[in-house]
Amino acid sequence: MRIVVKLGGHAFPLKLDVGTITQYTKVFRKMWKKEHKLIVITGGGEHARIFIEAARKLGANETMCDLTGIDSTRLNARMLIAGLGDDVYPSIPRSIQEINTAFERGKIVVLGGMYPGQSTDAVAAMVSELIRASLLIKVTDADGIYTTDPKKDPTAKKLDIISYTQLLEMLIHKSVWAGEYELFDPVSIKIMDRSKIRTRVISGRRPENIERVVNGEKIGTLVISSSQTNS
């Protein structure tokens, strides 16, 4: 199976937890040894937001802020690469051509952000479309998609399944400033919808949840195109 994992910035806090990163690398190596073809995209996390905000206060425009965030995501990608040993492609792809080259080597591929104005969710969607992935797994600090922000609204309800059209309607009024993407940005949703990419949004509090999804367990929230049936 061709699988893309978007590993959120929550996995890379200001004070890095080597133990947690090691748990993720063990899961990824286990998947790869089962002959799954795997690409992992890392988010920026708290330190990316801190650097972006500092750059903004210093007078940087939003493109420069985006580039600052991209650098942060690539540092996180480097942490995963350090823990994956010989099972990983050693360089971080920075273009479509480099992604294709890395993927053809048959090893785990890890990358961060790519272009200004594009979230790492959009990168994950683009990569999923590029390699014709069977599944995109978005690993977050929540256990799925909720009707409203569960951190702010105690009445928020988790959704077991949602279409990309419905998700876009929920998020269309969200801001798109550098470092402020929530769940998905509109660009990533449109890419996933046009390619009918099946996506699971799951909690990363337990890295083994990724394996559970690959093994067919219905955890988190399933996101599908309107033309697809329930899974």
Q: Helix, strand, or coil here: 35?
A: coil
**Radius of gyration from C-alpha coordinates of the chain:** 17
Return the H-helix or E-strand segment holding 165: helix 164-171
Question: What is the C-alpha separation between 56 and 54, in angstroms, rounded?
Answer: 5
Percent of the chain residues past pLDDT 70, beyond the cut: 93
Question: What is the C-alpha separation between 186 and 176, in angstroms, rounded?
Answer: 9
Whether the predicted pLDDT of 63 surpasses 90:
yes
Report if residue 102 sits inside a domain. Answer: yes
**pLDDT 10s digits, 49-62:** 999 999 999 999 99
Report if residue 230 sits inside a domain. Answer: no
Rounded to whole angstroms, what are the CA distances from 195 to 103, 150, 216? Answer: 19, 29, 21
Question: What is the C-alpha separation between 26 and 83, in angstroms, rounded?
Answer: 9
The count of structural domains within the chain is: 1
Look at residue 178 in the predicted model and tell me its pLDDT: 42
Query: Which residues sit opposite 37 in a β-bridge?
Result: 2
Look at residue 105 in the predicted model and tell me its pLDDT: 95
Whether the predicted pLDDT of 112 surpasses 90:
yes
Whether the predicted pLDDT of 121 surpasses 60:
yes
| Residue 175: CB atoms within 10 Å | 8
Domain around 183: 2-224
Whether the predicted pLDDT of 223 surpasses 90:
yes
Prediction pTM value: 0.91
Whether the predicted pLDDT of 177 surpasses 60:
no
Question: What is the C-alpha separation between 41 and 121, in angstroms, rounded?
Answer: 8
Report if residue 101 sits inside a domain. Answer: yes
Question: What is the C-alpha separation between 18 and 67, in angstroms, rounded?
Answer: 26
| Residue 74: CB atoms within 10 Å | 19
Pair 45, 20: CB distance under 8 Å: no
Residue-averaged pLDDT of the chain: 90
CATH number of the domain that 176 lies in?
Answer: 3.40.1160.10
| Mean per-residue pLDDT, 170-190 | 65
Report if residue 231 sits inside a domain. Answer: no
